[in-house]
């Protein structure tokens, strides 16, 4: 592990600084090009009026020179031509303004380009570069525990550096056959249920953290393998009144008038596990139900019946069809309802039945009820189900 992590760290450092050098060179080249273009623009804009002034002066000098030669020719000619030439010369001289020249700007008004380069940039860069990057011998957070869930894994992690104050955590995972990790959670919690996990397949997990007030993430924890042997919870497909997601873990009560209980595809809930429902609200009804049961039974319109425990959307709790005096808060949109069960008494199992007692805990909106559920038969696994009278309800199970 030490050699592998050291080799990986060297590769990361070399790649990072190589990328950094390439980026810095590109930025410096872009800045140089920008400044050179600025020089070109100033030069062109400043020299244009001076060039025009020079052309006007040269034109005036050439005109005066031509007129001078013409005057000399008029003086040197014979008497007959002299008067005519002098007359023409005089007329031309009156039309040419020899004393009119464009104003030449003073020297201080003419731009004089120079480059202003602050050498303190090198000092700033030097100080920043010498503080850039650190090498850590141990990540501040490590993965702590994997708990199997049906079609998922509950991943827990913990802080191992007492001086590190975390603000956020970042959990990634990948199939053992995949080449890249992908984000699955970013937040302040120290556990997360990763869903859509294929049973009996190895997944690699790693976690890092961001210090309080910091932007950069810490080094990754040591990657660890997690897996689940539990098949995912699925609703039964094909029941009129309910539409399912592609993974069949989300059920939507549609607009059909048909009303009945939607059961799980198989009895995939086992004692010792936590069964969780998360729902989006529709119009509530007192016959609505979310819960578990011993068997599927067609013809019922609710789980408020024998061999079932459930909670209604108004918070009423039913055990074998009887309403308890204890009541939970009404189900709200986005809230979760959880069922936890453990065996507290196991009587003799036979064809005639036996005394079988389960300790049931139902939680909703930070409140819970605990009771014993007595059955006349041993139940190694249970079905779950739901029923809603009105459309709009959507339930995710995990």
What does the alpha-carbon distance between residue 345 and residue 57 come to, in Å, rounded to a whole number?
Answer: 116
Query: Tens-of-pLDDT digits for all 398 residues of the chain?
Result: 688 878 888 998 999 999 999 999 999 999 999 999 999 998 888 888 778 778 888 877 887 787 787 777 777 766 666 677 777 777 776 777 655 656 666 777 777 888 888 888 888 888 888 888 777 678 899 999 999 998 999 999 999 988 889 999 999 999 988 889 999 999 999 999 998 899 999 999 999 999 888 888 988 998 999 999 998 999 999 898 999 999 999 999 998 887 799 999 999 999 888 999 999 989 999 999 999 999 999 889 999 999 999 999 999 999 999 999 999 999 998 889 999 999 887 655 544 445 788 999 999 999 999 999 988 888 878 999 999 999 999 999 99
pTM value is 0.59
Nearest alpha-carbon partner for 277 in 212, 334, 202, 208 = 334
Q: What is the pLDDT of residues 273-285, one digit of tens each?
A: 899 999 998 999 9
Q: What is the 3-state secondary structure (H, E, C) of the chain?
A: CHHHHHHHHHHHHHHHHHHHHHHHHHHHHHHHHHHHHHHHHHHHHHHHHHHHHHHHHHHHHHHHHHHHHHHHHHHHCCHHHHHHHHHHHHHHHHHCCCCCCCCCCCHHHCCCCCCCCCCHHHHHHHHHHHHCCCCCCCCCEEEEEEEEECCEEEEEEEECCCCCCEEEEEEEEEECCCCCCEEEEEECCCEEEEECCCCCCCEEEEEEEEECCCCCCCCCCCCEEECCCCCCCCECCCCCCEEECCCCCEEEECCCCCCCCEEECCCCECCCCEEEEEEECCCCCCCCEEEEECCCCCCCCCCCCCCEEEECCCCEEEECCEEEEEECCCCCCCCEEEEEEEEEEECCCCCCCCCEEEEEEEEECCEEEEEEEEECCCCCCEEEEEECCCCCCEEEEC
User: How confident is the model at residue 236, as a pLDDT?
Assistant: 94
HSE-up (13 A, CA, CB side) for residue 28: 9
User: How confident is the model at residue 352, as a pLDDT?
Assistant: 47
User: How confident is the model at residue 350, as a pLDDT?
Assistant: 46
Close Cβ partners of 319 (under 8 Å, ≥ 6 residues apart): 309, 360, 371, 373
Find how far residue 221's CA is from the centre of its chain. 21
What does the alpha-carbon distance between residue 304 and residue 94 come to, in Å, rounded to a whole number?
Answer: 120
Q: Which domains does the chain have, with CATH numbers?
A: 1-131 (no CATH), 141-228 (2.60.40.10), 242-397 (2.60.120.920)
Residue 55 tokens, joined: 């052309």
User: How confident is the model at residue 347, as a pLDDT?
Assistant: 58
């Amino acid at each position: 592990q030490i050699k592998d992590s050291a080799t990986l760290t060297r590769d990361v450092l070399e790649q990072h600084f190589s990328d950094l050098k390439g980026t810095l060179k590109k930025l410096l080249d872009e800045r140089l090009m920008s400044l050179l273009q600025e020089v070109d623009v100033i030069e062109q804009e400043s020299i244009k009026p001076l060039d025009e002034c020079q052309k006007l002066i040269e034109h005036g000098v050439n005109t005066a020179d031509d007129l001078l030669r013409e005057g000399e020719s008029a003086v040197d000619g014979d008497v007959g031509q002299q008067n005519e030439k002098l007359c023409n010369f005089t007329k031309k001289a009156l039309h040419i303004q020899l004393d009119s020249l464009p104003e030449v700007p003073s020297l201080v008004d003419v731009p004089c380009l120079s480059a202003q380069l602050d050498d303190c940039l090198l000092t700033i860069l030097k100080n920043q570069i010498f503080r850039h990057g650190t090498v850590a011998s141990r990540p501040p957070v490590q993965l702590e525990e994997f708990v199997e869930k049906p079609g998922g894994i509950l991943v827990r992690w913990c802080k191992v550096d007492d001086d590190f104050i975390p603000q956020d955590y970042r959990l990634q995972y990948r199939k053992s056959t995949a080449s890249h990790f992908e984000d699955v959670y970013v937040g302040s919690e120290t556990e997360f249920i990763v869903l859509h996990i294929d049973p009996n397949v190895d997944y690699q997990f790693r976690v890092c953290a961001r210090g309080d007030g910091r932007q950069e993430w810490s080094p990754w924890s040591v990657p660890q393998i997690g897996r689940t042997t539990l098949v995912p919870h699925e609703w039964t497909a094909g029941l009129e009144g309910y539409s399912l997601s592609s993974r069949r873990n989300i059920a939507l009560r549609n607009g059909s008038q048909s009303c009945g209980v939607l059961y799980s595809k198989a009895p995939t809930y086992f004692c010792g596990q936590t069964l969780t429902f998360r729902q989006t609200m529709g119009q509530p009804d007192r016959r609505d139900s979310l819960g578990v049961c011993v068997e599927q039974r067609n013809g019922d319109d609710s789980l408020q019946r024998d061999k079932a425990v459930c909670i209604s959307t108004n918070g009423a709790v039913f055990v074998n069809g009887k309403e308890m005096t204890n009541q939970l808060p009404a189900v709200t949109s986005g809230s979760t309802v959880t069922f936890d069960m453990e065996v507290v008494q196991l009587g003799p199992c036979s064809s005639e039945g036996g005394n079988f007692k389960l300790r049931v805990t139902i939680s909703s909106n930070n409140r819970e009820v605990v009771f014993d559920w007595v059955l006349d038969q041993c139940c190694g696994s249970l079905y779950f189900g739901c029923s809603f009278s009105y459309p709009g309800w959507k339930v995710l199970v995990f």
